[in-house]
Amino acid sequence: MKDLRFLVTDSRTFFDEEGKDTLTTRFEYVHDKAPGYVITNTARSGLWSITKRVVTDPQANSLVMNAGFKALHGTTADFRLFVLVAPHMKNRGYGNTGRCAAYGKRNYLLARREDTAAALASDKPFLGMSAGYSGISDGWHDLKEDLEMDWMFERAEDGNIALTAELKPVSDMVLALGFGKDEVEAALEAEISLSREYASIERDFVRGWRRHISSLMPLGKRAADGGRRFRASALALKAHEDKTFPGAVASSLSIPWGQSRGDEAGKGYRLARPGDLCKTALAFMAMGDGRTALSTLDYLQSTQTDAGAWLLEMHVNGTVRHPEARMENAALPILLAWRLRGIGLAGVSFYPMIKNAASYMARNGPFGPEGGGASPSALAYGISALVAAAHWAREMRETRESDYLFSVADGWHTKLEEWTFIKCGCMGEGSPGHYMRMDGARPFALAPEEEDFHSLVFDKDRPDRFPEHGRGVFDTGFLDLVRLGVCGPRDPNIVSSLRAVDRLLRFEHHGRVYFYRHEGDGYGEKEDGSPFDGSGTGRPWPLLSGERAMYEIAAGGFPEKYLESLEASANEGFLFPEQVWDKSDIPELKLLKGRGTGSATPFIPAHAEYIKLLRSMHDRQCFDMIKEAHERYVECLTSLPIAEWKKGMEIGSAKSSETVRITSPREAHIVWTTDHWATRNEEPMKGTGLKIWHRDFEAGKLKHGAKLVFTFRYADTGEWEGRDYEIGID
């Protein structure tokens, strides 16, 4: 549904539209532990108001609204009341068919598209009905024209439609919007709701949600708001879980800048993103709901690709929305499974999934399957996930696999600084530099089909201020190194990078602190406040205030300022936005400095971060910490200087002080020489049990100035590689 709103007229002097011609004078939850709402909208003229209680029926597929009309001047007999419905069945405005019909003793406004239908009915009789085309023959234009409902069209076929019905303006009426596979099923669902007293429906609705919320850890009980933001976050997370595919949690049910989007836009954030899914599942764990987190792990197990990865975005049924695969999308399910295993919920049946994902990472990492740049955040997830998978392999007595995964993690960790830390003059003399995400692609706009995905997009009017930044993207992702236990919070490179963040990405307003996502971000409203349309200017993200607070907890600092900033970004329903406005107020566009923009609200990753932050403050330690990674790298300072060669990520040189590792995705013999083939060595490569074969030349074996030349002969066919490869030893 695009719209379900009321229209009011006196048939003589005025025509009001709910929303445009009203002010919301009351907004609250029907109960502080249930996501139903009480909304009072009052006409700007002061002539009338309408109060709505909105819930869903636990016993039917229907939305139920208990509405009450009130005349503030004169009597109700002076007014006429209409309900307007604009269907967008299956998320599309075009191709809808609507009609007015009677089933039994009740009249219905019906809409359908393909195998989805909706039916709106009321416990009070409809006094008139019409089905028209939006902008041409709909009830809004009919009433606007002469303040009368003159058009009574029974049907509108295959178009962008709007349905209208007149109701008697009374103080107590119930409307039910039922959904089904066809009109009959949708009408029956609405009828189920209308056959019950509204008070009974709301009572059942609240009872179920209270039971859920009461089962959680009361993480918000010490908060200044009495825990309302915590409860709203817990409700939002659970409400965003798909009902057909348990464990699939959308990043948001809203469409960013939806008011300006046509049908060609995608599904907003109403998709399954493995990265966000895992972080949300950890938030369920943080508040004591391991069962939902386990459902997410089950869902991920069913959607893993044969290669061992997960795609960037999926429809909830597992079909591909965005085909790109990323390292962190393979790492996060490993970490989720490891954490669930730690509390006894993830058994050995998940180990094949973990092994396959770890194999994918070891084969394709650390720079991604297309050989893209290195990211401190992706490396943090990758290293910690490889350590977790190695421990699990050891528990399964797969020593060969475990040893190899540990060596890959150790090698990546040792190369962190070389790959992602740059010396930069942006902080002035004396600063060692900062971490950067070394991405090559820098798009200045997104294609229409990508507009709902907040990928890397730059503002073409905000070029890099520092030459060194042209090599990559400066962002706050390096904080994941601390969050996951890969680096210590007092590591000099972390501290130096944090200073750069506070200089280049920090935004403060009335004592609240937020952060921009990255330098030159182009994902946000344009400078004049008009909606993002593939290009724009990035605004501050409250989510990043939560991430900074998490760092402060790990560092033994003071997270309160950042926690309070995240909390302050919430709207009147205690829902967190994706971004906040950072310029002067533009009231006509509802853009107020420090308040949410037209981006996604609620933004579930921000709610998940808030819940994990509350748990971390309760525990006085970072909830996301992988203790095995922290023990290995922060406490024991484990390192392994290694230079790895693999197809697609070939290296041309290595240090004599490093182990040189040659890998193959096929079982093979390596044929090699260091004296220009004066002598020839052939030996089988060592298997790992992970679809990887390798030959390690230990540190010091290849002398400075030598040149390692090698090729492959494959075991399955006996064929030769057909070319030589070279690595110079420095």
Kindly report, residue by residue over 127-180, the tens digit of the pLDDT. Answer: 999 999 999 999 999 999 999 999 999 999 999 999 999 999 999 999 999 999
Can you say whether residue 316 is alpha, beta or left, with left for phi > 0 and alpha for psi between -120 and 50 degrees? alpha
Residue 49's pLDDT band, with cuts at 50, 70 and 90, is: very high
Q: Packing angle between helix 327-342 and helix 376-395, nearest 10 degrees? A: 40
Q: Where along the chain do the CATH 2.70.98.10 domains lie?
A: 3-210
* 44-53, 117-126, 256-265, 490-499: the lowest-pLDDT one: 256-265
**What's the rounded mean pLDDT across residues 259-269?**
69
Q: Which of 85-89, 145-149, 410-414, 428-432 is the least confident region?
A: 428-432
Whether cis (ω within 30° of 0) applies to the bond prior to 369 is no
Ranges for all domains in the chain classified under CATH 2.60.40: 642-729
- H or E stretch at 260: none
Residue 659: strand, helix, or coil:
strand
Cis-peptide into 432, omega within 30 deg: no
Number of H helices, E strands in the chain: 16, 29
Q: pLDDT digit string (tens) for 441-470?
A: 677 887 766 666 667 888 888 877 888 888
For residues 335 and 281, the answer to whether their CB atoms sit within 8 Å is: no
Q: What is the pTM of this model?
A: 0.95
Buried b (16+ CB within 10 A) or exposed e, 549-563: bbbbbbbeeebeebb
Q: Region 178-192: what's the mean pLDDT?
A: 97
Quote the CA–CA distance of 442 and 434 in Å, as a whole number: 20
Alpha helices in 346-375 (DSSP H): 351-364
Given a cut of 50, is residue 723 above it in pLDDT?
yes
Distance, in Å, from the CA atom of 653 to the CA atom of 726, rounded to the nearest integer, reads 8
Number of Cβ within a 10 Å radius of residue 682 = 10
Dihedral angle sign, alpha carbons of residues 530, 535, 540, 542: positive
Instruction: State percent of the chain over pLDDT 70.
Output: 97
Of 197, 57, 15, give the one whose Cα is nearest residue 123: 197
Residue 44 burial (10 A CB sphere; 0-12, 13-18, 19+): exposed
Which whole number is the average pLDDT over 635-644?
97
Is the predicted pLDDT of residue 372 greater than 60, yes or no?
no
The helix/strand/coil state of 376 is: helix
What is the rounded CA–CA span in Å between residue 588 and residue 344?
53
Average pLDDT over residues 356-368: 92
DSSP state of 475: B
Whole-number pLDDT of residue 371: 47
Average pLDDT for 598-626: 97
Q: Which residue, chain included where needed, has tokens 């595919």? A: 245
State yes or no: pLDDT of 104 exceeds 90. Answer: no
| pLDDT over 50 at 79, yes or no | yes
Percent pLDDT > 90 in the chain is 84
Q: Please state which CATH number belongs to domain 642-729.
A: 2.60.40
CATH topology of domain 3-210: Beta-galactosidase; Chain A, domain 5 (2.70.98)
510-541: b or e for each residue (b if 16 or more CB lie within 10 Å)?
A: eebbbbbbbbbbbbbbeeebebbbebbbbbbb
- What is the distance in angstroms between the CA of the first residue and the CA of the last residue of the chain? 65
**Confidence tier at 370 by pLDDT (50, 70, 90):** very low
pLDDT of residue 584: 97
Strongest mean pLDDT among 221-230, 262-271, 319-328, 487-496: 487-496
Pairwise CA distance, residues 9 & 73, whole Å:
13
For residue 453, what pLDDT is reported? 62
Where along the chain do the CATH 1.50.10.10 domains lie?
215-635
* Architecture of domain 215-635 in this structure: Alpha/alpha barrel (1.50)
Q: Compute the average pLDDT of residues 8-34.
A: 95
Which of 619, 632, 472, 509 is CA-nearest to residue 554?
Answer: 619
Alpha-carbon Rg for the chain, nearest whole angstrom, is 29
**Model pLDDT, residue 449:** 63
Residue 508 has pLDDT above 90, yes or no: yes
CB 366 within 8 A of CB 374: yes
Strands 653-654, 725-729: pairing is parallel
* Three-state helix/strand/coil letters over 118-166: EEEEECCCCCEEEEEECCCCCHHHHHHHHCCCCCCCCEEEEECEEEEEE
- Residue 428 pLDDT greater than 90, yes or no: no
The pLDDT value recorded for residue 425 is: 82
| Predicted local distance difference test score (pLDDT) of residue 470 | 84
